[in-house]
Chain A
């Protein structure tokens, strides 16, 4: 008998986790951020419950600053999946004109962290799937697959419950909730290889293409719409770039690349000299910034 491959094992683990959550948790949602990890997660959910549709909705926290191609892709994927799509935006933040150019870390807090908390409270979700992976960043490397949040949605790293074998303890008291990371043990390389193997659709921004960009603070930022104001001396250039991670366009740096197919992307990933989160502008601030944001309730 042929042994299961590394990817088969990761797939089985993620599906096992999803089925456990669906069976044990009261009100479940899948956070869908449109990126490659979310694409893999959605694909796995469809496989896990087949022939049933996944028994939970998708939810996207829309900061209003996502790449336009992401939003088109999101709507198409949701329609094809037959799952309900909840889109939530912190309207308060929009009214106040909070934006990534003028407000820096406040923007992330208001439009992402606060928005997520508001959305989870509004719908009363007790368990939310997220696409986080332990290889992304140091404090994620320490997070359990079932990660508990108190009534204020805060993570308490010193109080993590022991997680033994695959006996997940999903018991919570009212007000608490669980973030579940079925892709915890996947690496960036696994994600790409799985996308290739399963032929999973991804946002075209991952593929290299001529795009209008400016260079700002050492990052290549794509000019996705006219809300992006050029600084003195900046000039829009056309460059062949692609993105390793996707987020809000003003905060997501692209890389110059000619990889316009999966095979080349995987090749680039395997020989990469930088870890993927370096292309996220907010992570540069300090080495512990991610943990701090998670304690405050960021996913």
Chain B
């Protein structure tokens, strides 16, 4: 069986990536006759000169053909006498860097193209750093378009020196630099007649022969649990892929994060019972005792992993939305998805020079070194030790976008190294943590109009939807916070002011507040609106005085009519009807739930 090499091509736009691969496939006679015919036809219509445009073999999307650029990564599969290859051809445009990173995460080797007439560009350096971040350790630098320099060895030597200097910054296991012309075919599949001064192998020969060491079989066993298989009461197996090492029946295993131990009773590779399994195989493990193991746990044997909720890592920001410190994202590592926040950015990396820059956010295409806090203790490892549980993605919990990808450098212990970023915990952040927007919904209306009934029903509805709420009821507040206030005009104003201030504090905590309180005077309600600000929503519960008197649940109207209660709103004290309420609710013709429906709908809660 031939070995497989997965590689990517990257580099700046117009460096000739698609042309290089297209030409390689064409020369090595690896394209079908119908594809060749289509290419010859497309070239006549699409290309500039009438020569074969090899890039048309790869640029598959309509938008790309129209714009003549590659916007997304394209995978090609080919096999030569010596090896099978999967190549991810990636976009050069800075805007599509994240698509280039997708290709890099999949590859073992990177081909970086450099335009000989332009030299090493910023984009070349960015791609190199991203390849290194994503774990690529084998690099081939293709100095392309040598034909445009008259195949000048001096040009090549100068660029070669720049590359060697650049490569000192990153971890490499192999490095090859080769001068080619992708359009003319020099040093692609055959040694170039035009550059006899170069004595290395042509590109394809090099790719056929380069050895990529696979050390996944070494060291102890690691398997993140994907799912629990229980077809019946008697069978309970833990399914996952062996990522590292090997395992045999009878071996002792440990499940993390719990740290509980057990022995392996049975092993299945797919549907075959077996005595042992090795890295790369899909496995089902049955153990000799009852243990609480579920998706996201990691089963190991004789291998050290971290179980922690804090780590330092390096990541590439992918999202158009910049990183928000403290915001709750989902982090996926191995098979575990857990809420997580970036609590500190140590620095970002200047892609051009590699120097460290202080910053308080990361925007698209930036690389940063960060500290990440997880909502619970999670199993992971340094990327360089166990790659499969050392890489992670961050998912935006609102847009579901994959916002960032990164690698774990090492765990952090609390109190050691951990410094919280100078970060304002703002109302916005608290709201985001609670997953809601704070509001004060202020119900005003006559006594007995149904304010408290509506406020309570609304709160129940919101709580059922997972919202965080609080009710301030005018009557109840008077027993505590406002127990020194009576019903004079000035005391009524002070009552409202205090309720408004309390609402604002709760809103600042991210809470949705329902206030039910008569608040008869326009000036007081306006003052409340001023205190509470944009979150204030006024609902006038418009039940008529006649209906309220008819209901008179607490017998208050009766007493007021007998002059037993002085200053009673609607009877012996004025109620000023709001003229600019956000919503007027009529409770006389509908039931409570219909009213709540309308409030939810109209106020967008």
Contact = CB atoms under 8 A, between A and B. Distances in A.
A260 B422 CA distance: 73
Given A9-B280, A15-B282, A138-B60, A167 B393 contact: yes
B241 A187 contact: no
Interface in B233-278: 235, 237, 239-241, 246, 268, 270-271, 278
Given A19-B226, A291-B61, A162 B231 contact: no
A1 B393 contact: no
Given A52-B231, A161-B401, A273 B75 contact: no
A199 interface: no
Contacts of B1: 5-7
A11 B102 contact: no
A164 B402 contact: yes
Given A6-B1, A19-B227, A134 B77 contact: yes
Contacts, number: 169
A184 to B, nearest CB: 8
Nearest to B240: A19
Nearest to A47: B270
B101 A172 contact: no
Given A9-B280, A139-B60, A142-B61, A23 B32 contact: no
B271 A47 contact: yes
B330 A171 contact: yes
A6 B77 CA distance: 13
Contacts of A52: 229-231
Interface in A1-25: 1, 3-9, 11-12, 15-16, 19-20, 22-24
A297 to B, nearest CB: 16
Given A165-B391, A167-B391, A12 B280 contact: yes
B270 A162 contact: no
B75 A134 contact: yes
Contacts of B268: 50-51
Contacts of A7: 1
B75 A288 contact: no
B60 A141 contact: yes
A23 B226 contact: yes
A158 B93 CA distance: 14
A157 B34 contact: no
Interface in B46-105: 58-63, 65, 71-77, 79, 84, 86, 98-99, 101-102, 105
Contacts of B482: none
A54 to B, nearest CB: 11
B86 A142 contact: no
B405 interface: yes
B346 to A, nearest CB: 22
Given A8-B281, A164-B105, A22 B271 contact: no
Contacts of B481: none
Nearest to B282: A15
Nearest to B400: A171
B35 interface: yes
Contact of A49 (B101, B229, B388): B229
B33 A273 contact: yes
Given A1-B217, A169-B402, A51 B34 contact: no
A274 B77 contact: no
Interface in A284-299: 287-288, 291-292
Interface string A174-215: 000000000011010100000000000000000000000000
A275 interface: yes
A62 interface: no
Contact of B38 (A15, A20, A171, A287): A287
B61 A139 contact: yes
B227 A22 contact: yes
B231 A53 contact: yes
A89 interface: no
Contacts of A161: 401-402
Nearest to A9: B280
A278 B34 contact: yes
Nearest to B294: A23
A40 to B, nearest CB: 14
B61 to A, nearest CB: 5
A1 B391 contact: no
Nearest to A287: B38
A121 interface: no
A251 B567 CA distance: 87
B332 interface: yes
Nearest to A157: B61
A29 B587 CA distance: 47
Interface string B371-402: 00000000000000000100111010000111
A144 B38 CA distance: 25
A172 B241 CA distance: 25
Contacts of B270: 11, 15, 47-48, 50
Contacts of A292: 62
B339 to A, nearest CB: 13
B71 to A, nearest CB: 7
B318 interface: yes
B32 A275 contact: yes
Contacts of A16: 226, 241, 282
Given A51-B229, A162-B102, A171-B400, A274 B34 contact: yes
Nearest to B73: A142
A163 interface: yes
Contacts of B86: 185
B437 interface: no
A274 to B, nearest CB: 5
Interface in A114-158: 134-135, 137-142, 144, 157-158
Contact of B400 (A142, A172, A273): A172
Given A134-B75, A167-B393, A272-B32, A48 B63 contact: no
Given A165-B391, A171-B330, A12 B281 contact: yes
Given A23-B295, A164-B405, A165-B105, A287 B391 contact: no
A173 interface: yes
Nearest to A276: B32
Nearest to A272: B32
B255 to A, nearest CB: 17
Contact of A142 (B34, B74, B239): B74
B175 interface: no
A141 B278 contact: no
Given A16-B241, A46-B271, A169-B400, 8 more contacts: A4-B280, A11-B270, A15-B241, A19-B240, A139-B60, A162-B99, A163-B402, A171-B395
List 9 tightest A-B contacts by C-beta distance, closest first.
A138-B60, A47-B270, A50-B271, A52-B231, A171-B400, A164-B405, A15-B282, A19-B226, A275-B32
25 contacts: A4-B281, A12-B241, A22-B227, A48-B270, A50-B229, A50-B271, A138-B59, A141-B60, A142-B72, A157-B63, A162-B393, A162-B405, A164-B393, A165-B134, A165-B388, A167-B333, A169-B332, A169-B393, A171-B395, A172-B400, A185-B75, A187-B77, A287-B42, A291-B60, A291-B62
